[in-house]
Amino acid sequence: MSRDGLSRDGLDSLLAAARSWRDQDPDDETRDELDRLLTRAAEGDAAAVADLADRFSDRLQFGTAGLRGALGAGSNRMNRVLVAQAAAGFAAFLLGRDDSPSIVIGYDGRKNSDVFARDTAEIMAGAGIRAVILPRALPTPVLAFAVRHLDFSAGVMVTASHNPPQDNGYKVYLGGLDHGSQIVSPVDGEIAALIEQAAESPVTDLARSDDYTEAGDDLVGEYVDRTAALAGTAAAGRQPRVVYTAMHGVGWETARRVFAKAGFAEPIPVSEQAAPDAAFPTVAFPNPEEPGAMDLSFATADRVEADLVIANDPDADRLAVAIPGDGGWRRLSGNEVGALLGWRAAERAQRDDVDGTLAASIVSTPALRAIAGEYGLDYADTLTGFKWVSRVGGLLYGFEEALGYLVDPAKVRDKDGISAAVDLLALATELHTQGSSLAEHLVAFDERFGAYASSQISIRVDDLSQITAMTARLRAEPPSRVGSLVVDRIDDFRSGFGEFPPGDILRLWLTDGSRVIVRPSGTEPKLKVYIDASSTVGDAAARRTAAEAAVAELDRGMRELLAG
């Protein structure tokens, strides 16, 4: 046996797999990385053997989020070999689906994003597929827009969104009857099977061609024009002073063009975070939801005496908002922003005399359902993930609590942090012109629809089996109470529930109407718990106090249950 427990045959097989991967790798950096590991492993270095085993014992799985993982050599990492295999498998899928398939490819500012995008373009072109690549690193919403605008068969965006700096990813969209939405089951499985087939041959055997084209800036300009139009005439009002951060991502260039086209004064950028930087040097984690990620934004806002802070995540498909609060800046939750933009969408539908549907993922606040009911609109709950929200029929507006908002479904069928920023800025300007504010508008929301409060518990694990164990314990011993609140019923999605397919989701309803949802994260090794409560009793202040007290009690009770 080798020192890490592998048999001699097992070690030989691992080393052979690593050498085979190295020999087809076109990237000097990852090829050298494997060479060093192979040399150490051959000399009996147990740490090197363990590292190789981690890289090759599994394969980075292609699913409904495409691919996402840490950069590095090996089948369980993001690299040029894996991307080439994915592109070849996806090309085979498109050739079997369309007579004359076409694809548009975008990329963000992360390490190797441009390289992965050009590899994809060359392989698609080599397979006989019409391929267009965006002219530079651009936001994910521009790519999603391009799929619809060009009426192409598909799109690929190379991005890891708000993941850690060492990650990259590969997000896939489909045109035609999918209308430019992200892929869903069972298509993901079909593509994954074709990628596995492609991986049976070296990527050096793949046909490549430089017969692809680069999109012109007119495509970006069309996105800018369409997005700016969302503001209407709002910019003519008294504008708030706004600070903007791109979080070291690709949002600033496009966002500033959109704001200018809409007539808004240019926001004050957080200069340290305005340009794309794959190292994300000023944040521990490039996600505006994470503690500390917006500290530079708040410091800038204090210095310039701003009225509002808006932030995009690194690929600009999410939006974060902060307003002045007692003793500092208060970042609004995704549920709060989602409800305000949903109210605005309902007002727009009423003004334009149109019918349609408001939609949110099941873990998002029930407030949007209340808005739909008030305005006589349809409402739809969806599974978690914007790929489901964007596919709702007759969609007028959709959101998910993780800072994702779709305010213009006719233009793009994915969350769009720049469009959402324009809609939010138009609302803030209208309120500012009236002598009001977003803070006061939140109070007005409580008065009209009731106060909705929420919180989230996120438990990171080292072993995914820990998540299964926690949900299994809740199923084996269903709680009769969460804290002091009585459980009315539990919906178990394990075998499917209503129109929802099977999933490892538990939804607890409390007798006071509160709700708790427990589910694994779809992108990270975490168990997530979503807590929501509401109140329509008393004035706005009393409603807010009651809803927040219920959430606090449920939060405490769920932490006790999961710790036990």
- List residues with catalytic annotation: 161
For 156-218, the DSSP string reads: EEE--TTS-TTEEEEEEEE-GGGTTEEP-TTHHHHHHHHHHHHTTS-GGGS------EE--HH
CA distance 75 to 199: 10
Which amino acid is residue 140, in one-letter code?
A: T
- For residue 461, count other CB atoms closer than 10 A to its CB: 17
Order of strands, edge to edge, in the sheet holding 268-269?
Answer: 268-269, 242-245, 308-312, 319-325, 328-331
Instruction: Tell me how far the alpha carbon of residue 504 is from its chain's centroid.
Output: 20
- Residue 463 CB-half CA count within 13 A: 5
Question: DSSP string spanning 118-158?
Answer: HHHHHHHHHTT-EEEE-SSS--HHHHHHHHHHTT-SEEEEE
Is there a contact between 74 and 110 (Cβ–Cβ < 8 Å)?
no
Using a 10 angstrom Cβ sphere, with 0-12 exposed, 13-18 middle and 19 or more buried, the burial of residue 392 is buried
H or E segment to which residue 313 belongs? none
What is the sign of the dihedral through the CA atoms of 208, 214, 219 and 224?
A: positive
Residues in the chain: 564
**What is the biggest distance separating any 2 CA atoms in the chain, rounded to whole angstroms?**
76
Closest CA to 259 of 240, 283, 235, 275: 235
Alpha-carbon gap, residue 149 to 407, rounded angstroms: 17
Residue with tokens 């269903």: 478
CA distance 227 to 420: 9
The vertex-544 CA angle with 539 and 549, nearest 5°, equals: 130
Answer positive or negative: Cα dihedral of 272, 274, 275, 280.
positive
Report yes or no: 414 and 406 within 8 Å, Cβ to Cβ: yes
β-pairing, 154-158 with 167-174?
antiparallel
